[in-house]
A and B are shown apart, each in its own frame.
Chain A
Amino acid sequence: AQKITQTQPGMFVQEKEAVTLDCTYDTSDPSYGLFWYKQPSSGEMIFLIYQGSYDQQNATEGRYSLNFQKARKSANLVISASQLGDSAMYFCAMREPRGGSARQLTFGSGTQLTVLP
């Protein structure tokens, strides 16, 4: 079974509009972390935002916010006031401590966001 599911292979948004990128996850561990990364065409993976499973508030970082719905196991990324430079591939990822030894990220398949002028 997929651990991280991103159902939108591609999304388009008009410049200055807000856009939501979907992410659902599957874990039985009560302690986990959720991350969003941006990968522009240059290839580097840029960390955007983090949400811990025990965090009471939704995470926000500038124009990025994470709509965390724990019961539904969803962690959607909201980008407000889209800019042309936001055009990139966006990856949702999860980290499960698994006894404290395993710390790798499990990534979704990504969503290609295109911001239209």
Chain B
Amino acid sequence: GAGVSQSPSNKVTEKGKDVELRCDPISGHTALYWYRQSLGQGLEFLIYFQGNSAPDKSGLPSDRFSAERTGGSVSTLTIQRTQQEDSAVYLCASSPPTSGSSDTQYFGPGTRLTVL
């Protein structure tokens, strides 16, 4: 079946503008994650959604970052008033409705964000 999809694949924006990044998880996957991959920081967890539960926002770096997940499926990551340090690849992953530590996360192709 279809994998995780993300859009846009590339986004160039000016400092101070808001951006929205979209993630469409694998059908039937209840868990959805956002990560950020940057040269200086490696791969960092941002936020996690599981079904209808309150999201785990513990990885969001500032209040300029927010995310929502509508209908338990598509998720949007919003960055307000972008800064140059927000430039990174934003990766989305989803995992099936199982329990325990074995849930494998399947990643999308990422959105490369460049803030000028």
The answer to whether A103 and B50 have CB atoms under 8 Å apart is: yes
Main DSSP-derived SS at the B contact region: strand
* Residue of A32, A37, A44, A108 touching B109 (CB-CB under 8 A): A44
Which one of B21-29, B40-48, B62-70, B79-87 is at the interface?
Answer: B40-48
> Which interface residue of B33, B58, B100, B108 has the most chain A CB atoms within 10 A?
B100
**A-B contact number at CB 8 A:** 68
Size of the chain B interface, CB-CB below 8 angstroms: 28
Q: Is there an interface contact between B100 and A43, defined as CB atoms closer than 8 Å?
A: no
Could you mark each residue 88-117 of chain A with 1 if its beta carbon is under 8 Å from any beta carbon of chain B, else 0?
000101011100111111111110000000
Q: Tell whether, in the assembled complex, residue B45 and residue A104 are in contact, meaning their CB atoms are under 8 Å apart.
A: yes
Q: A79 to B17, alpha carbons, bound, how many Å?
A: 44
Known: A33-B101, A43-B110, A44-B109. A103 touches B95 (CB 8 A): yes
Contacts of B35 in A (CB 8 A): 104-105
